Amino acid sequence: MLLSPDQEQELLEKNMPKIYRAVDNFMAKCSMETVNIPYDDFVQEVSIAFIQYVRRCKTLDKTNIFPWYSAMGAMRDLVLSYQPMSCPKSSHRFSEIIHNMPRTVSIDALSASSGLEIDGMSKHWVDDKETQIDFDIFMSDQPENTRRIASMRVYGMTHKEIANQCGTTQEAIRKRLKRLSNSYMKSQEEANDE
């Protein structure tokens, strides 16, 4: 769908409270572990992810759905870009260098918000903006309770915590997430076949 720059700006301004909420939630979860990244940088990255999502939407109705997964991915990518990393010429020292690096961001904090640990999605997850946008569009077609469960999992809640929140069993949550994962993989295969 092609929108004018003014329409994109209007949508962006309308969604600024959600953008700020996404940044606040991310920073609250990771604030003690993130490197010193300016708040405005997070807002800018989420805004860019939102505009990319809007440009990929096929109908105007889809633009009313905020791309939470793209927002989290954009912030995770920003944090990763601030991480010090170098690769030694000889691989035998790599392990030593990694172990001696100062801890900057907990991998748990990143994986909880990145979609890397959503029951089986990780082995097929392609970390790029287009895939994040496709995932947001896929999730927008899911029932509200499924989106809620997936969001809780992405934000780091355990199956037990989600089950307690939803009043069901851990096994039911695992099955729901597995079905969601399989459905997503199937939709991606169909999209690739087109």
pLDDT at 175: 92
pLDDT at 165: 85
| Tally of domains in the chain | 1
Using an 8 Å Cβ cutoff, are 83 and 101 in contact? no
Average pLDDT of the chain to the nearest whole number: 75
104 phi/psi in degrees, rounded to 5:
-115, -45
pLDDT at 149: 87
pLDDT at 169: 92
Burial 165-187 (b: 16+ CB within 10 A, else e): eeeeeeeebeebbeebbeebeee
Tell me the mean pLDDT in the region 30-59. Answer: 81
pLDDT at 171: 92
Burial 99-136 (b: 16+ CB within 10 A, else e): eeeeeebeeebbbbbbbbbbbebeeebeeebebbbbbb
Residue 144, domain extent: 5-87+96-193
- Predicted TM-score (pTM) of this structure: 0.46
Instruction: For residue 122, give every residue at least 6 positions away whose Cβ sits within 8 Å of its Cβ, in sequence order, or none.
Output: 116
pLDDT at 115: 44
Q: pLDDT band at residue 120, thresholds of 50, 70 and 90?
A: very low
Instruction: For residue 104, give every residue at least 6 positions away whose Cβ sits within 8 Å of its Cβ, in sequence order, or none.
Output: 33, 34, 35, 82, 83, 84
